[in-house]
Structure 1
Amino acid sequence: MRGARGGVRMSSNAPIPPLVRTTQVAWPQESAFWRFTQDFGAWWPIRTHSVGGAKTRSAVFEGRVGGTIHEIFHDGGRSIWGTVLVWDPPRRVVFTWHPSRPPETAGEVEIRFEPADTRSTYPRFADARIAATTPPDDGPVTGTRVVLVHSHWERCGDGARRMRRGYGLGWRYVLDVWAGRRTFTVLALDAITALVRVFKR
């Protein structure tokens, strides 16, 4: 549709481009995939990224097609965040994503784990299962590049573009936490969360 000055004005139903976030770690592909999925409950930041907040006890990633990603509340209830569509360890996982929203508004998140040459300049984990597979710090190593693509924003309705902007920061924070990095984003959001909890008392 053309505007008054002859320019092209985008329709309100125009596709919203996928949100892409990448990061790189020094762990082998298998370790990176395993940490993101099977160890999901150990690293996911439920204090800042959950439906229940303080009411949430843990988060679960069921590693199979049809498995759910969900949080479990202290009272035993749960809230489903998404459903696994593709399970291809250790290369790729795809799932729907709709925390606190109906399933019909779900976007899709694809995460690819790609072997990459890197140097182990990133934090090493105390977790012995990962530390045992982390190469030494004295030269080139085979690490993993992680590519996260969040798409199908149109399903989210009128607030889709605003939601996409929020997830731009949100996924960056989540990947930094997963990688064990105390970046400015992580420190700032943790500090804000702590202040909010103090004022709510």
Structure 2
Amino acid sequence: MENLFSHPESEPEPSQQDDDALEPFIITVVVPTNVSHAFQGFTDHPHLWWPLDQESVFGEGSHVEFEENLILETAEDGRTSVWGTIDDWQPPLSFHASWYPASTPLWSTEIRVSFRAVEEGTEVRLVHDGWEGAEDPAASRASYAEGWPRVLERYVRFMGGAVA
């Protein structure tokens, strides 16, 4: 009889799909303006470009804003939902936040958005990571991999850029 505390001779290999599911999601866009203006457009005016009809808690008619150390959505009836808590604010170069729209900080992931001068204007790079903090890591990553391109496409258009 085998020892109850023995280990199998070899551990099963995790599938490549499992590894990919928890990789950071990285998306980069370029807007035709300077770094300071790009940061300001992203953080001071998300209510003008964020696709609230597709990517929000309360839907069309709500308002999203960066308020002190929070990213906050407010419904027309005054209800609020905190999307994230900013814990590193480096204007106009970057910010980092715990990210948990429609959830709680208990189930948060992380986003870092950075702004860098390039020949065509400003490169905006969003890294979404920390999937192990999500309630369903693989499903969360897949959902954001679908949603972030729509969100950033609207931002690029708002900033006067062409969308491919």
| TM-score category (smaller protein) | 0.7 to 0.9
3-state SS of 1:109 partner: strand
Distance in 1 between the 2:27 and 2:144 partners? 10
Deviations 1:60-103 (A, max 9, x none): 112x4xx1111111111111111111111110111111111121
Partner of 2:139: 162
Partner of 2:105: 103
Q: Which runs of 4+ in 1 moved over 3 A?
A: 181-184
Aligned to 1:90, what secondary structure does the other structure show? coil
Does 1:59 find its partner at 2:37? no
Match of 1:30 among 20, 36, 52: 36
| Distance in 1 separating the partners of 2:48 and 2:30 | 20
TM-score when normalising by structure 2: 0.83
Deviation at 1:45, TM superposition (A): 1.2
| Structure-1 residue corresponding to 2:154 | 177
Counterpart amino acid of 1:49? E
Residue of structure 1 equivalent to 2:54:
48
Unmatched 5+ stretches in structure 1? 119-142, 185-201
* Residue pair 1:41, 1:61 contacting (<8 A) in 2 also: no
Structure 2 residue 4 is matched with structure 1 residue 2:
no
Pair 165,52 (structure 1): closer, same or farther in 2 beyond 3 Å: same
Give the aligned partner of residue 197 of structure 1.
none
2: CA distance between counterparts of 1:9 and 1:22? 29
**C-alpha distance in 2, partners of 1:169/1:110?**
18
Structure 2: distance between partners of 1:44 and 1:162: 22
Identify unmatched segments of 5+ residues in structure 2: 1-9
* 1:199 aligned residue: none
Identity of aligned residues (%): 30
SS in 1 for 2:124: strand
Name the SS of the counterpart of 2:55 in structure 1. Answer: coil
**Of the candidates 116, 119, 124, which is equivalent to residue 118 of structure 2?**
116
Q: CA RMSD for the aligned pairs?
A: 2.3
- Contact residue 156 and residue 162 of structure 2 kept, 8 A: no
More helix by share: 1
Aligned to 1:78: 80
Superposition deviation, residue 57 in structure 1: 2.4
Secondary structure at 1:22 match in 2: strand
Q: Secondary structure at the match of 2:134?
A: helix
Q: Secondary structure at the match of 2:62?
A: strand
Bigger relative contact order (CA 8 A; separation at least 6): 2
Distance 2:47 2:59 in 1: 14
